[in-house]
Structure 1
Amino acid sequence: MIRVLLVEDSATMRHHLRESLAADPELEVVGEATDGGAAVDLVGRLRPDVVTMDMMLPTMSGLVATEHIMAEHPTPILVVSSADRQELFSTYNALAAGAVDVLEKPRGDASDADWGRRLCSAVRLVSRIRVITHPRARLDGRDRPSVPPAAPIDDGTPAQVVAVGASTGGPGALTELLRALPPGFGPPVLCVQHIAASEPFAVAFSDWLAGQTGRDVAYARHGTLLRSLGGRVVLAPPDRHLAVRDGVLRLSDGPPRYSCRPSVDVLFESVAAEYGAGGTGVLLTGMGRDGADGLLRMRARGAVTFAQDESSCVVYGMPREAALIGAAAYVLPPARIAARVAELQFAGGRATGGRR
């Protein structure tokens, strides 16, 4: 049985959650909390396998409760939240603090027909994730990661574009990576972040990431010249593949890769073909293997490639696959990856001396 703790202040919504989960014989609700403080206490006493977490709670918010849980009793947390803008930003803060996925609350329209099935599926998925302890109070910028001194580099092709892929746990890792890049970093950063949520959640991600990092962040537009994007962070839009061809951003509705659209592999393969040794590839935390083959393609074309290390990953899935097939030349935490990536711009060379 997968033991679930429900955290929700609305009696109507708690009833809906309880009934939906009861339809799956392998899911068991072991407790309910109506505020964040009670949720933290119950997690410590009941040790559930999964917590479903509302964001807007009395006394202690869902975000603060998530921070406490991930610092004291790390447990897979599924945020169940509405698409209200204030709640969206709290949701992304919770994902950066260690929550592993998000499911939008029922909308009251035809899309609700299979909501219960999607809830059960999401609970099953997050229950399989090995979560790690997250320090609290990291999201306001007071405790930004320290960047170690740069290691020696060799002369080589300067970085022209940085391609980044992330999935589960990605908002936090991507925030850490971008915060650690120096203010004058010039190459554009193209990102694929898997977000298993509705379009309102996904669209708000760019605003949230810009606020967290102080960088110019926007969703990609088809036909944009890459040379016009210096220093900007460009995200793949919801449900669209992002690629580069002939120096231009291309968006497409092509078939999913490893059930993913946007796909990290699609981005990495296009950067490998377009820029060769002028590309830099970074694969961050996530479940599955999307991005591993594309990162290997980049490395084969002369690009410098990085994968996030296991100790800093929420889910050591995608980076692990990349390391196993030799796609990642360097395996490091996000802040140290950022330091090496910065070397490639400012010194115009290829990094050396990283842990392989």
Structure 2
Amino acid sequence: MSAIRVVIADDSRVTRDVLRTILTRDGDVEIVGEATNGLEAIELARRLSPQLITMDLTMPVLDGLGAIEEIMHTKGVPILVVSDRSHAETAYQALELGALEVMPKPTLESDDAERLLERVRLLSGVAVITRLRRRSLAQPLATRPVAPQNSEMAPRGFQYIIAIACSTGGPQALARLLNRLPANFPAPIVIAQHISHGFIEGMAQWLASLCILPISVGKHGERLKPGHVYLSPSESNLCITPHHRFQLQASQAEALYHPSGDVLLKSVAEVYGADAIGLILTGMGRDGVSGMRAIHLGGGQTIAQDEESSVIYGMNQEAVNAGVIHHIVALDDLPGRLMRAVRCTTHRQMPL
């Protein structure tokens, strides 16, 4: 088998040395070029036709966002953003432009080093398409929903709840899905997106800039509100108590997935039974399958993103093969499906 052809784009020689050492240690990755700025990255992408580019965001001459936009508009290449955690929100803007995933800069001995190599192997085989020039996102026209004044007096405040598990390709899918839900959406949405530590707040801010619904990272003891989107932190697993509040559980040291989709979905199934709606999106692995089974057995509705619209048809395929999915739905049809599931009558779409 021929080696995976990779271009590294980073203005730091030290970082390039670290990335080169990690990626070439097993012999199945070949570094065919190194760029020190965005313009060089564009030229190497055109001339060398790599199977993947690792892209820093803060570079001279032209930054990583500019390089990603130009590459994806001229000759699409799988791009993995390798960025400092302090640039988390900017990193998620890169996904909007066409990058596949974001992860922190690794050290030679860190767990992120193995994850980087794993991600390069996986993403180098993803088919990407050359994009049209970016359109500006429509700005929300409606006001954000107002929380009930006497929420503590209400035992619940909503009928249905939506629980989502996703991994690789998930942020892009979530942006397209959540951007199309209206301000009067009546159900809380809880999400377990596999993510590197230190990036979840940036992802929440990025999604919030695109959507009408309020989006935040779930906090221990926080009460769920209808029409609010909550992301699980990566360092802990998010659960829901019978009092409709969040509980953060410590993640096991040997856990494969951070955070765990199964833990979140199982708690939703246990508390809400037939009023639970489970959704499993694009991603690698089997996380979420047991959680979707719990929702299915509890009488709730289960939905999986279809293969054609998935970056990685993995988690969702496993759930389909396990026989725990009621509906297989294309990404662009998911907003309408969820609207019908929670009996929301207003559907105002915004282009993304």
Calculate the TM-score normalised by the size of structure 1. 0.81
After TM superposition, give the deviation of residue 92 of structure 1 in Å. Answer: 0.7
Structure 1, unmatched stretches of 5+, are 107-111, 145-157, 349-356
The answer to whether 1:261 aligns with 2:268 is no
Give the secondary-structure state (helix, strand or coil) at the position aligned to 1:75.
coil
After TM superposition, give the deviation of residue 136 of structure 1 in Å. Answer: 5.0
Report the counterpart of residue 123 of structure 1 in structure 2.
Answer: 117
Q: Equivalents in 1 of 2:130, 2:89: separation in Å? A: 19
2:281 corresponds to which of 284, 289, 292: 284
The answer to whether 1:304 aligns with 2:301 is yes
Report the counterpart of residue 212 of structure 2 in structure 1.
Answer: 214
Q: Equivalents in 1 of 2:286, 2:109: separation in Å? A: 27
Q: Equivalents in 1 of 2:188, 2:130: separation in Å? A: 29
Alignment of 1:12-23 (within 5 A): 12-23=14-25
Distance 1:18 1:256, change over 3 A: closer
The answer to whether 1:341 aligns with 2:335 is no
Q: Equivalents in 2 of 1:143, 1:320: separation in Å? A: 34
Contact 2:10 2:37 in 1 (8 A): yes
Mean Cα deviation higher: 131-140 or 208-217: 131-140
**Count, aligned residues:** 323
Q: Equivalents in 1 of 2:338, 2:41: separation in Å? A: 40
After TM superposition, give the deviation of residue 143 of structure 1 in Å. Answer: 11
Report the counterpart of residue 185 of structure 1 in structure 2.
Answer: 185
Distance 1:289 1:69, change over 3 A: farther
After TM superposition, give the deviation of residue 254 of structure 1 in Å. Answer: 4.3
Report the counterpart of residue 165 of structure 1 in structure 2.
Answer: 165
Contact 2:9 2:56 in 1 (8 A): yes
Q: Equivalents in 2 of 1:62, 1:176: separation in Å? A: 23
Give the secondary-structure state (helix, strand or coil) at the position aligned to 2:68.
helix
**Cα RMSD (Å) of the superposition?**
2.7
After TM superposition, give the deviation of residue 324 of structure 1 in Å. Answer: 1.5
Mean Cα deviation higher: 321-330 or 185-194: 321-330
Identity %: 35
Contact 1:103 1:119 in 2 (8 A): no
Alignment of 1:1-356 (within 5 A): 1-84=3-86, 87-105=87-105, 112=107, 114-115=109-110, 118-119=112-113, 121-129=115-123, 130-133=126-129, 135-136=131-132, 140-142=136-138, 159-195=159-195, 197-199=196-198, 201-226=199-224, 229-246=225-242, 247-255=244-252, 259-346=256-343
Contact 1:192 1:262 in 2 (8 A): yes
Q: Equivalents in 1 of 2:287, 2:319: separation in Å? A: 9
Per-residue deviation, residues 131-173 of structure 1 (Å, max 9, x unmatched): 43263555841499xxxxxxxxxxxxx9511111111111110
After TM superposition, give the deviation of residue 251 of structure 1 in Å. Answer: 1.2
Distance 1:83 1:17, change over 3 A: same
- In proportion to residue count, which structure has more helix? 1
Q: Equivalents in 2 of 1:256, 1:340: separation in Å? A: 37
Distance 1:10 1:248, change over 3 A: closer
